[in-house]
Amino acid sequence: MSATQSTSETGFRVRGWHVLAGVSAFFALVIGFDTWFTVLALKTYPGEVSVTPYEDGLLYNRKIAQIEAQAALGWRAAAEAAPGVVVLQVQDRDGRPVEALTVQGKLERPATESGRRSVRFVEAAPGRYEATTGAIVGAWDLTAEARDPKGRLFTAERRLTWR
């Protein structure tokens, strides 16, 4: 026997077409699974967040315009929770009370939609507006909208806690 083997012996040898078949099978599996997952993803959630995206965009633009108009007013609001009452104080950019506002608001629970309450504020003193809440306890989100006689809108959102 010689130290070199003859090429006539039968045995498995990796040839070029074996490598080509293996690499092709690997990429075919990857592409197949990617396609399957993409189809499943598009069927279960098409990526559409809203059925009216254009209208939502217009509403968002109006909200930005309202925020810019409110910033130009320079008004500030402070809210306070008192037993059975919510107090809202509104001041202009110089710290003077803003009088003669029509103020409406709503109280909502932070974590649930139950128990919503609408409140109407009455001017108790210059720049001080009060609304009766009834007997409530816990954390509530106040959204107050104030309009002056010229029609300018001011919105304030605060989290209040009654004990």
| Each residue's pLDDT tens digit, 129-145 | 999 998 899 999 999 99
Q: Residues with Cβ < 8 Å from 153, sequence gap 6 or more?
A: 66, 69, 70, 145, 146, 147
Q: Give the number of other Cβ atoms within 10 Å of residue 123's Cβ.
A: 18
What's the CA gap between 147 and 104, in Å, rounded? 9
From the CA atom positions of the chain, what is the Rg in Å?
34
State the pLDDT at residue 42: 83
For the cut 60, the answer to whether the pLDDT of residue 2 exceeds it is: no
Looking at CATH, the fold of the domain delimited by 75-162 is given as Immunoglobulin-like (2.60.40)
Q: How confident is the model at residue 49 (pLDDT cuts 50, 70, 90)?
A: confident
Closest residue by Cα to residue 86 from 144, 125, 126: 144
**80 SS3 class:** strand
Tokens of 89: 């104080």
For the cut 70, the answer to whether the pLDDT of residue 161 exceeds it is: yes
Residue-range domain boundaries for the chain: 75-162
Phi/psi at 110 (5° precision): -65, -30
For the cut 60, the answer to whether the pLDDT of residue 3 exceeds it is: no
> How would you label 143-153 residue by residue, b for 16+ Cβ within 10 Å and e otherwise?
ebebebeeeee
State the pLDDT at residue 5: 55
DSSP-derived letter for residue 97 is: B
Q: How confident is the model at residue 111 (pLDDT cuts 50, 70, 90)?
A: confident
